[in-house]
Amino acid sequence: MDVTILDYKSGNISSVINSFKEVAKDKVNIEVTSDLNKIKSSDKVVLPGQGSFKSCIDGLNSITGMIDTLSEFALNNKKPLLGICVGLQMFADVGYEEVETKGLGWISGKVSKIDNKDGKYKLPHIGWNQINIVKDSKIFKGIENNSHMYFVHSYEFIPNDKSVTAATTDYASKIVCAVEKENIFGTQFHPEKSDKTGLKVIDNFINL
């Protein structure tokens, strides 16, 4: 099996690569690439994302044919895709970081700044927070409710259809921190930095 980690020059993906390689061992081939043909022939795709919503979308747009290839992979061929952090956020129709930016539109909704309740809550939301699993998602197999995951973000994804929400976390309000819509998965937290529980999420995705 081939799992492709998308390298579109948006932020630091070494930790994602290291964690997937750790979990995959020799059983699964982990490719790190922006080559469209390799993505097409891959079994699974990981879409990481760091920096701003706009910079990530710009990053995808800078590679001709990338968004079409990803859409075909996830929407037409319905192959498993995992978005991490801004990777998840880009599923939305629109993001409001820096300037209003059109998202991939795969899961209807928007990405807005977390309401910090007049400075009562610090932003970014950095550190270990517990997840409240609200849907029996395949990527949470064997993971207990209220497990700790590592977060770093100031913006949150607000889906229109709440049924895509797989988990929430409490910070200023209930923040959607994992989604599952058919073959499309996303985590706002960083499984690659969430120690053994995070590696389990990665393992679940690889073994889908």
Partner 1 sequence: MLKNRIIPCLDVKNGRVVKGINFVDLKDAGDPVEQAKIYSDGGADEICFLDITASNENRDTIYDVVEKTSKKCFVPLTVGGGVRSIDDINKLLNCGADKVSINTAAVQNSKVVEDSSRKFGSQCIVVAIDAKRKDDGWEIFTHGGRNPTGINALEFASKMEKSGAGELLVTSMDKDGTQSGYDIELMQKISSMVNIPVIASGGVGTLDHLVDGIKSGASAVLAASIFHYGTYSVNEAKEYLASKDIPVRI
Out of 62, 77, 115, 126, the residue judged to bind partner 1 by CB under 8 A: 126
Q: Taking Cα atoms as reference points, which of 103, 188, 91 lies closest to residue 139?
A: 188
Q: Which is nearer to partner 1, 71 or 116 (CB)?
A: 116
125 classed as catalytic: no
Exposure class string for 86-98: b at 16+ Cβ within 10 A, else e: bbbbbbbbebebe
Count of residues engaged in binding partner 1, rule: CB under 8 A: 37
Out of 29, 65, 124, 182, the residue judged to bind partner 1 by CB under 8 A: 124
100 classed as catalytic: no
177 classed as catalytic: no
Can you give the length of the chain in residues? 208
Please report the sign of the dihedral spanned by the C-alpha atoms of residue 16, residue 184, residue 144, residue 122: positive
* Minimum distance, C-beta of residue 163 to partner 1, in the bound complex (Å): 25
The reply on whether position 128 binds partner 1 by CB under 8 A is yes
Structure tokens at 133: 């699993």
The reply on whether position 148 binds partner 1 by CB under 8 A is yes
Give residues in contact with partner 1 (CB under 8 A).
11-12, 14-15, 18-19, 21-22, 50-52, 116, 119, 122-130, 148, 150-154, 170-171, 192-196, 198-199
Question: Would you please indicate which residues are annotated as catalytic (active-site) residues?
Answer: 85, 190, 192
